[in-house]
Structure 1
């Protein structure tokens, strides 16, 4: 059964961006080039990530983050969960019916915290403890920042089921387009 609480080590900062900033950020995203080599559209900044090989190598460096991403990446980098500066952002687009399978962000590739900023429509994310199978769910609202560190980063998978609506508090919520910006620090120890 899904519980409406986050796993240990996960937190949400609601309204992480000031009013209007989400729309401007989404405009920048939409004016940038998308990759379509997955079941969803993505953009990579700072470093490319190889989903099949689950790795990042020095050859995958794309360069510094673009100017339009710097203010929000610096704001995320300033959070206590991030001991090092954010140097990689992946933008994911989720249309109704699209999702992402259960996973833990590559442990040797990325630092001790991962953050995801939600733009567009809300979506339910599911978390599952690898040791016990316990499942929890939480709705990621627009402009909220999800931070995964500690147990939530390493011991719980997270996923967005591929469906066209979410059941929240007994009500069916149709999904709309959601764009997420995932902030990470690359570790080349892999």
Structure 2
């Protein structure tokens, strides 16, 4: 895949992968990396020292680049095996001319998921994800309406659509799909594809297919605008 010279604009090649059936804006690029790249990335993830992992209920994760927080992320240099992909995605114009500086690595075993959420204001309003090892089904929900109290606002009632996120793919969420709608992953062992999966035409899958999950590792690549450089903490310029 080639990129345009101006990284402030979304590249023309990336525009070809917009999911037109969904609200603005989703880009889904199947086979963004090769099988060899996938294997290499998985090896690097699992070579990380044990203290690098944080165990949560339902998944475990690694932070690379620093720990984002409202006061500013203490910036850490990304390793070369991640820099290759943060720079490639940034060159697409995904972060409006900025360069990705943070990678969150999540490991989801079969049956594990994450509650519906938004990524919030700590990040540039774009999230990009490379998936390794397995597919998943990413579900989207409308936010809870503060003025409506007559009808229970369950997840089922607020559900909008899903995306089939295949291994080795790149997913980019921007605009309303980042800022407004919540996204989450059901903690199941297999996914049954329905007509609500908006990107089936680019996946080779069909409505009614049943896809067993394996262990999935996701590389969530973002730009954190507010950072603190280590030399500033030391009083250096």
**TM-score scaled by structure 1?**
0.86
Q: Would the aligned equivalents of 1:6 and 1:138 in 2 still touch at CA under 8 Å?
A: no
Partner SS, residue 41 of structure 1:
strand
Indicate the structure with greater strand content: 1
How far residue 70 of structure 1 moved from its aligned partner, in angstroms, is: 0.7
Query: Which residue does the alignment assign to 1:52?
Result: none
- Give the aligned CA root-mean-square deviation in angstroms: 2.1
Secondary structure in structure 1 of the residue aligned to 2:192: strand
Q: What whole-Å deviation, never above 9, does each CA across 1:106-150 have from its counterpart, x for those lacking one?
A: 2x2000211011101111111123369351011100111110111
Conservation of the 8 A alpha-carbon contact between 1:81 and 1:112? no
Separation in 1, partners of 2:44, 2:22: 30
Structure 1 residue 13: Cα displacement: 1.1
Q: Is the 8 A contact 1:7 1:127 kept in 2?
A: no
Q: What displacement does 1:62 show? A: 5.0
SS of the residue corresponding to residue 179 of structure 1 reads: strand
- Higher helix fraction (1 or 2): 2
> What is the CA–CA distance in structure 2 between the aligned matches of 1:157 and 1:26, rounded to whole Å?
28
1:35 aligns with 2:54: yes
Structure 2 Cα separation of the partners of residues 13 and 172 of structure 1 = 22
- Alignment-derived partner of residue 93 in structure 1: 107
Structure 2's unaligned 5+ residue stretches are 1-20, 146-156, 194-206, 228-237
TM-score, normalised to structure 2's length? Answer: 0.70
Cα–Cα, structure 1 residues 27 and 6, in superposed 2: closer, same or farther, change >3 Å? farther
Q: Which moved more, 1:127-136 or 1:26-35?
A: 127-136
Structure 2 match to 1:142:
167
2:83 match = 70
- Rounded to whole Å, the distance in 2 between the matches of 1:122 and 1:37 is 21
Q: How many aligned residue pairs are there?
A: 179
Give the gaps of 5 or more residues in structure 1: 50-54
The structure that has the greater radius of gyration is 2
